[in-house]
Structure 1
Amino acid sequence: MDPLADLGPVRELVGALASRGQTVATAESLTAGLLSATLGGVPGVSAVLRGGLVVYATDLKASLAGVSDDVLGRDGPVAESTAGELAVGAAARCAATWGVGLTGVAGPDTQDGHRAGTVFLGFHGPDGTDVVKLQLTGDRWFVRSHAVREAVSHLLDRVTRTDTG
């Protein structure tokens, strides 16, 4: 089953953002724009989706998304710190309330010492920045699509949590 076949959570996220007058932007490496494309499948998303950066190449993480050369040199392109800076950069570069950064290894091979299925999801918004690490098992599509599904779920939680916060 395709984890992105059910757009219910995506619709819920778009609705939650819209009802709060908030926006989102992405900086995607691992998912190569899949999160933005998934959000774009929901009618009315133009009210909340500011834009997205596809930063598959390491140098673009710095030049387009603003990840510091120090972080990339010290921690590499697949790291908690990189995901956090991708999220901050997405929000800043696209003037969005929320930024989401996704980086990881889709596989099948290990990259920079990280095994396939290692994913870091960065979130930046009014309540600060945090990163979620996932370890997924499956083929490239599974890893990428589940990373998107988890990003939607975690962002929805963050957006609604700030109401009570």
Structure 2
Amino acid sequence: MKKKNAVIMAISLTSLICLVLFAFISYYTSMNRKISKDLNSSIPITLEFEYKDSHHWFLGDGATIAKAKLEDDDIIKIMEKSKREWLKTPIPIEIQERVYGNEFNEALIQDALIPEVKNGYWTFLDRYRLDNGLETEPNVYYENTGNYSLGVIDLDNNILYYIKFDS
């Protein structure tokens, strides 16, 4: 009987360790974690992201476009715990051109990466300049950038949009 109990305890302990390990690996490979790390913000693990990712192509080039529905307390957590500055909209025209196309007009907004956000907050990270050791100021767009990340919080619809572009 003692041997049977020891085997059951060993199986239970092994199952628990596997479960914890699975949860740990899932968290650190989740979209939430990737966005948190990329935007240097605290993205709640409870958010469910819808996303498209084309980074599986040559040399990691591609784009990730994601969105998640936010609760009011999620918005507060993201803004307060962020290590990056989130600025009030409007987004500068140079960044809008990246999101909506070279000509910012109503026709292009229909086919844009994300909907136009008039009431919200945004943060921008020029990873090209950061990765190449070039000085940059927070949330400043440079025309020659090929790698950037953009986070946009839409306050009217309580949605977080995320774009990561690598060229």
Does TM-score exceed 0.5, indicating one fold? no
TM-score interval (norm. to shorter): under 0.3
Larger C-alpha radius of gyration, 1 or 2?
2
The alignment's TM-score, normalised by the length of structure 1, stands at: 0.26
